[in-house]
Amino acid sequence: MADHHDLVLRDVKATGVVFTGRCEIRSATCSAKEGGAVTAVWDEQRQVDVCGHCIEAMVRAGEWRIAGARFRSHADVAVLDADGRPLLIVEVKKRPPFLDDEDSWAKRVRRNLLVHGALPPAEYFMVLMHPGHAHLWCELEVPDLDAEPLATWDPTEEIKRTRQGPPAPASLEDAVAEWLRQALAAQPPPDWAVRSGVAQKARDTVVEWQYVPGTHGRSPSRLTPRPGR
Ligand SMILES: [Zn+2]
């Protein structure tokens, strides 16, 4: 039986047929929980009615792969350089239930986002699971879909502290943006930021969340390096 909590990447076929119905996935961003535009996909011999938001959520979660499908590029959190180009983009995930191998899961999320063209181009990419680990890649080379991360570490306690405020961040993405802002402004910067080169390049950067290329996301404040401290 197909169960969308199975943490296995599955090839799903889109039928392309759109009709009015109730979405069966019902993710946090679902637009057809009580009825709306849905499409039918085939997931392991079973037809699933799903709204557009939930298709994207399943792909971004590394659970579905849909041949030929492309998704809008978007980042939950982005560190932009002085010219507004993304230096580091972050895919923020709540820890899924029943997860035991974080590393292969994070690699699968990255691979799926690359395959579906869903990441804005940036020098660095991070999959951040909360609670759990951060996985950081450098994307300067032609992307290797199965590359090992440059760094893996556990920022759970730091992110929990930013969630206590003040001001208390409204969402997990807000908390991650605040955590990154503090980490990149810290003197000395944290080990992961120094070893990866992010800290050296993050002078005069802005942390935004809900970043879509060509638009302005929301930015809490401009990062100012604090020399000599
Ligand atoms: Zn839905």
- Residue 42 CA to ligand 1 centre (angstroms): 15
The tally of domains found in the chain comes to 2
* Closest C-alpha among 42, 160, 193 to residue 169: 160
**Whole-angstrom distance between the N-terminal and C-terminal Cα of the chain?**
58
- Residue 175 CA to ligand 1 centre (angstroms): 25
* Closest C-alpha among 94, 25, 75 to residue 54: 25
Is the same domain home to 157 and 79? Answer: yes
Is the same domain home to 88 and 60? Answer: no
How confident is the model at residue 78, as a pLDDT? 93
Is the same domain home to 111 and 190? Answer: yes
Is the same domain home to 28 and 138? Answer: no
Peptide bond into 131 cis (omega under 30): yes
- Residue 57 CA to ligand 1 centre (angstroms): 9
- Residue 135 CA to ligand 1 centre (angstroms): 28
DSSP for residue 22: -
Is the same domain home to 41 and 59? Answer: yes
Q: CA-CA distance, 175 to 157, in Å (whole number)?
A: 12
Q: CA-CA distance, 225 to 185, in Å (whole number)?
A: 6
- Residue 140 CA to ligand 1 centre (angstroms): 35
- Residue 53 CA to ligand 1 centre (angstroms): 6
Is the same domain home to 79 and 59? Answer: no
Q: CA-CA distance, 71 to 40, in Å (whole number)?
A: 17
Within a domain: 227: no
Residue 220 has pLDDT above 90, yes or no: no
Angle at Cα 60 formed by Cα 55 and Cα 66, nearest 5°? Answer: 55
Domain boundary among 39, 65, 91: 65
The residue range of the domain holding 217 is 75-222
Residue 229 has pLDDT above 70, yes or no: no
Domain boundary among 65, 85, 110: 65
Is the same domain home to 117 and 178? Answer: yes
- pLDDT tens across 198-211, in order? 999 988 888 887 77
Q: CA-CA distance, 84 to 77, in Å (whole number)?
A: 13
Between residues 90 and 118, the one the model is more confident about? 90
Residue 85 has pLDDT above 70, yes or no: yes
How confident is the model at residue 125, as a pLDDT? 96
Within a domain: 137: yes
Within a domain: 5: no
Is the same domain home to 50 and 105? Answer: no
Is the same domain home to 22 and 106? Answer: no
Model confidence band, residue 82 (pLDDT cutoffs 50, 70, 90): confident
Is the same domain home to 125 and 58? Answer: no
Report residue 17 as tokens: 């047929």
Give the lowest-confidence range in 70-84, 103-117, 128-142: 70-84
- Residue 130 CA to ligand 1 centre (angstroms): 23
Is the same domain home to 92 and 117? Answer: yes
